[in-house]
Amino acid sequence: MTIDVALTAIMLLVASSLLLLMTALAVVRLVRNASERMAGERLRAVRPMLLRQLSESPPNLSKLAGESRSEHRQLTQLVWCLLTKVRGEAKIALIDWLILQGEVRRECRNITSRRRLVRVRAVKRLGDAEVRSVARAIESQLCDRDQYVRIVAARSLGQIGDPASVRPLLHALSGQPCLPHNVIVMSLIHMGPQIAHELITLLQHEDARVRSVCAELLGLHGTAKALQKLAFLAERDTSTKSRVSAIGALGRIGAPECLPALQRIAFASDVKTCRFAAIRSIGLIGGPHARESLTALANNDDAEIAKLAIVALTTMGEQGLDVAREIARSSSELAAVARDQLERTALSRRTFRRRTETEMALTP
Amino acid sequence: MSEEAIRFALQWRFGFEAVVLVYFLALNGIYLFLTVLAVISFTRYFRRSDVVENNDVFANPFSPSVTVIVSALNEELCIEETTRALLGLHYPEFEVLIIDDGSTDTTFALLRNTYGLVPSDRMPLSCDISIEGPVNAVWVSPEYPQLCVIQKRNARARADALNVGIQYARNDLICISDADSLFDPDALLRVARPFADDPSRVVAAGGIVRPSNGCIVEKGTLASAQMPSGFLAKIQVIEYLRSFMIGRTGWNVLKSSLLISGAFGIYRRDLLLELGGFDSRSLAEDAEMIFRIHRHFRTGPGTCGAQEQLQHLPSISTRKDYRIEFVTEPVCWTEVPVTARVLGRQRRRWSRGLAEVLWKYKHMIGNPRYGRIGMFALPYYVIFELFGPIIELLGVITLGVFLLLWGIGSVLDHPNAFLDLQHAQLLLLVAMGYGALLSLAALLAEELSFHRMQRWRDLAWSLLAALGENFGYRQLHSWWRLQGLIQWIEGREAEWGIMTRVGHRIYDHQERKLL
């Protein structure tokens, strides 16, 4: 009897849930269609108005306002979206409008919200608006308990570009909870060469990870005034990771005066990863001296070194490619490596050419 | 009929009912739990995706590069569209390796003509993985430098083709797929995102796979998701929705993913090399790989990247600190079988593969060293997935027998001795209703989230399929799974069979009509 009652109850529950779900499905679809239609209509109403005022010279958004509350909300959302898509005066006008409407102040308050989604949105929007005065508040979110808040905070700091944020960002590399290396590096790249001085100072930081990232960034920014310190780091640093980063940076900067240091490392270093990095960097620097060194290294007894030297030769341009072609034609064991590498170079050149052509075709 | 016999029959009946009820409640309780978890996960994911954009991954030059490996065996109907979709993926750095696994049709000729393939000297980057079917030739496309086609001898194993791809892959991540799968243009961005966000812990990732039958394809991408025409295919649409949107998502929240679909899965290259590639003797090489990854990180060396340094991903040096991620977004659309014969073969193979993998890793079941995987996920798979068909079919057979006995009992004036018809009816209705309820929950989740099927007609068909699969299909499915289990016990040689392709419904933009 009890089982009967229980089963009947469950059945009724399941049946009513089924009906409820079916109704929910239909209602969700109806509501979604209606809201999409309404949003579309609102957007159609506010977008031309906004774009018209933005196209004025100088853009003047002071009189911009939606007729109703929902239109105003739509307009605000549109302005936040446009913020990442415009530059120059138009962007400044949009930011001014947001400040005028109290939106920036509201997002500043939201940074400390208990809801993580609100925090993420606030941090992202403030980054998009490039409001330098809130950089300190965003820095505090680098150790937020939510991973995405931390990632977005790093990205926003990169967009704001305040050199004072370099140290907190680098600290987040080893802090607890930490941020991924690629996120930090990308944020620092966004800041541009204006942080070079700060990065050169930090080449002497006690944390090897910080030294390594600084070296990497100096290379990416092509900071020639850091050459001496980078060369010192490449040869003398206690951490292999920092040394490899410094060697890579020397190659990226591409100054021929670094060649002697790199040659010393490539031929005589005890650490194999440093030797590998030095060979790659010599290839990037190029020139007759680099070619001589790499040709010598291509005949090295160590197969890995020889293979890498061939790879480096193909990155040098025509001078290096000639040597690689000679090796490919020879009967040595490395001929197959050279052939494979030559083909890769040809393919990547074609890709580059294709991309450039596409970009040129797309550029008005 | 003696009183003693009736008492015995009643006891037996109550015992059976109790077992069925416990099984039923446990299974559906777990399903309900997974549904709740999946809904929470969806809600979080969607709120976050408004703010966290995939463009960050695209714009970042430090995002891990990806090699997409596609194994193709006699895929002339869909290889062109698949390749076009792959070449059109949005991702900063990727290459496509198509492994022609000894096709006897025009698969390779189509590729050569369409992409102007020329022979290449490309060499494998690593030769640490053993290969059974040797490579015959490597081809590249001068026009599409990121495309490479490798012809190899068929070794009667998809895993062998994938292993060849791993040998030749040059990028940080390896994405495995089938030739009948269509990727969403942002698929790689979405699934590689966990690797970019947490590079030192994420080792593998997968996403939602959905049937492409009936969908309209335009310029290599899915233009419109629609319900297919056959009822079997319609039911599979619902089945995939339930499996991926409820099952996999729920298990992922519990950090107990045991499967990343072979139709779309991304792995770290260094890890695949360290584990020796896919097991070419396994019928479920995708599941086997995930089991192996769990074993590697829980009780094995637990590291990767010591020998093979990746360009944009750090090596993993701490044991247990790993994650297998499931991205709750549709990333891949695959063709599902439309005939009962082919579907039966596929399901027998899946069931057999599951049995094989569970047997191979039996030491993990109930082993506290494997945490939630060993104590919760694996026992679930054994009881409800492996032995599920036995219990379900036993239920169907017993119901038939009891109905017969009920007839005999009615004649003997003891109709309830063998079967309480009211109980049976109620239980049957509840079981079917609950199954439909789960399918509807998955449908609602789809409606609230991706809303890919936009026509009301498709929604109506989905509802019908969700209700209709209880009548005949589920029982047939259990029978196929049981057959697979029996084949595995008998140790019969595994057969992949030939999948009959229908191809995609392609929309010609210029002609403005379906081809």
Q: What is the pLDDT of residues B263-304, one digit of tens each?
A: 899 999 999 998 989 998 888 899 999 999 999 988 877 777
* Angstroms from B359 CA to nearest CA on chain A: 36
Band of the pLDDT at B2, cuts 50, 70, 90? low
Q: What is the mean pLDDT of chain B?
A: 84
**Which residues in chain B are closer than 8 Å to A350, comparing Cβ atoms?**
142, 145
Query: How far from the centroid of its chain's Cα atoms is residue B141's Cα?
Result: 31
DSSP for B212-275 reads: -TT-EEETTEEEE----SSHHHHHHHHHHHIIIIIIIHHHHHTT------TTEEEEEHHHHHHT
Average pLDDT, stretch B174-179? 92
pLDDT band at B507 (very low <50, low <70, confident <90, very high): low
Query: Which chain A residues touch B if contact means CB-CB below 8 Å?
Result: 3-4, 7-8, 10-11, 14-15, 17-18, 21-22, 24-26, 28-29, 32, 117, 120-121, 124, 147-148, 151-152, 155, 180-183, 185-186, 336-337, 339-340, 343-344, 347-348, 350-351, 354
Contacts of A187 in chain B (CB under 8 A): none
Q: What is the pLDDT of residue B417?
A: 59
pLDDT tens, B161-171? 999 999 999 89
Residue range B207-223, pLDDT digits in tens: 889 888 888 887 777 78
Contact A14 B437 (CB under 8 A): yes
**How far is A346 from A321, CA to CA, in rounded Å?**
10
Residues B222-231 have pLDDT tens digits of 788 888 888 8
pLDDT digits (tens, 9 = 90+) for A11-64: 777 777 778 887 887 888 888 888 888 888 877 877 777 777 777 777 777 667
**CA B337 – CA B240 distance, rounded (Å):** 13
Q: Which pLDDT tens digit goes with each residue over B110-160?
A: 999 999 898 888 888 877 788 888 899 999 888 888 899 999 998 888 899
Contact B194, B316 (CB under 8 A): no
Cα separation, B515 vs B507, whole angstroms: 6
* The pLDDT of residue B457 is above 60: yes
Mean pLDDT of A70-85: 82
Whether the per-residue pLDDT at A359 is higher than 80: the answer is no
% of chain A beyond a pLDDT of 90: 17
Q: Note the ipTM here.
A: 0.74
Interchain CB distance below 8 Å, A350 and B145:
yes
| Residue A161 zone, left/alpha/beta (φ > 0; ψ -120 to 50; rest) | left
Q: Are strands B66-72 and B94-100 parallel, antiparallel or unpaired?
A: parallel
Beta bridge partners of B316: B304
CB B16 within 8 A of CB B233: no
The reply to whether residue A186 touches residue B62, judged by beta carbons under 8 angstroms, is yes
Contact state of B145 with A347 under an 8 Å Cβ cutoff: yes
- For tokens 């060194």, the residue is A293
In the chain, the amino acid numbered B386 is: L
- Name beta bridge partners: B330: B208
pLDDT in tens, B18-72: 777 788 778 888 988 988 898 888 877 877 776 777 777 777 778 899 999 999 9
pLDDT in tens, A175-210: 777 788 888 988 998 888 889 999 999 998 888 889
Which residue among B56, B121, B440 sits closest to A340, beta carbon to beta carbon?
A: B121
DSSP bridge partners of B333: B182, B210
Nearest-by-Cβ selection for B437 from A21, A124, A147: A21
- Alpha-carbon distances of B363 from B30, B281, B357, B358, B379, rounded to whole Å: 23, 20, 11, 9, 12
Task: Supply the pLDDT for residue A355.
Answer: 67
Q: What is the mean pLDDT of chain A?
A: 84
B444: which chain A residues are within 8 Å (Cβ-Cβ)? 21, 24-25, 28
Is the pTM of the predicted complex or chain greater than 0.90? no
* Residue A144, pLDDT above cutoff 70: yes
